Amino acid sequence: MSNLKEIRNRISSVSSTRQITSAMKMVSAAKLRRAQDAILQMRPYADKLYDILKSISNSLENEADNVFGQERLVNNVLIVLITSNRGLCGAFNSQAIKLAVELAKVKYAKQLARGNVYFMAFGKKGCDFLRAGQYKLVESHNEIFDNLTFENVAPVATEIMESFSRGQYDRIELVYNQFKNAAVQILTQEQYLPVKADDEGDDFVGYGFDYIYEPNMEVIINELIPRSLKIQLYKALLDSHAAEFGARMTAMHKATDNATELIKDLRLTYNKARQASITNEILEIVGGAEALNK
């Protein structure tokens, strides 16, 4: 009987867990819809603006005119890691953290050995890992996801751009999960600053355009380039935000399915144990009756 009671308790526990995972799946699905709409509306504008930015950067005759496109000897590196504030979203956070650490240890191994690789974290999970690993975490912005708007992201982007223009960092990299659909997230690492021209052979038709600058080139450099860089950071955060909900919805869906399968197995085990128990009781009764007859 104790074995049957343990199985009943476990069935009840797994059923409660299934209710929780099912509810989390529905909540994530509702939030995903809003986050997905936000990134899909932003992405065409951000991509086109970034194409124009790269075209302008390559067309400048004097590199000093565009401080955000200057290639310098890489001594100090800032890696901007974007994760989530909460877990229960599969490998969403661990993959981004792994890529950021691998980037520091492989691509910037010399700078890391000299202690010149720094991190900025968006999201509590990445922040906690970097602090526990004793990496150089210069700043964290975990609260940004509470109200993810361009107005809240722009000051942080401005701070990053100013640190690059002052020479505090020579290379700034972004590491985040790009949203593709509810089930797929693309782990992404891209150079944020300096503005990187596409490699030779890449299909980028923007370089073939001859833009007319109004009112003049100086205004474009001072206004369009910083705004474009702010939008690129905002787009990366929107991508990661939507990808988080997609990953959590998928993880909770799998957890709910696994709980359902486990409940089926437990009920089968319970029925078998209950049948065996009833059979033993019948055998004991029959045996006792036979003994009395004799």
For the chain, the domains span 2-19+254-287, 33-251
| Domain 33-251 of CATH type 3.40.1380.10 | yes
This prediction has a pTM of 0.86
Please determine whether the domains at 2-19+254-287 and 33-251 fall in the same fold group of CATH.
no
What are the tokens at 205? 């038709």
Mean pLDDT, the chain, whole residue set: 88
User: Taking residues 113-142, what's their average pLDDT?
Assistant: 95
Mean pLDDT throughout 160-180?
A: 95
Q: Please determine, for residue 61, whether its predicted confidence score (pLDDT) is greater than 70.
A: no
pLDDT of 255 above 50: yes
- C-alpha to C-alpha distance for 256 and 246, rounded to whole angstroms: 15
Tens-digit pLDDT profile for residues 201-251: 444 444 456 667 777 777 777 788 899 999 999 999 999 999 999 999 999
* Whether the Cβ atoms of residue 251 and residue 186 lie closer than 8 Å to each other: no
* % of the chain at pLDDT higher than 90: 68
Length of the chain: 294
Q: Mean pLDDT across the stretch 103-108?
A: 96
What pLDDT band is residue 261 in, cutting at 50, 70 and 90? very high
Class of domain 2-19+254-287: mainly alpha
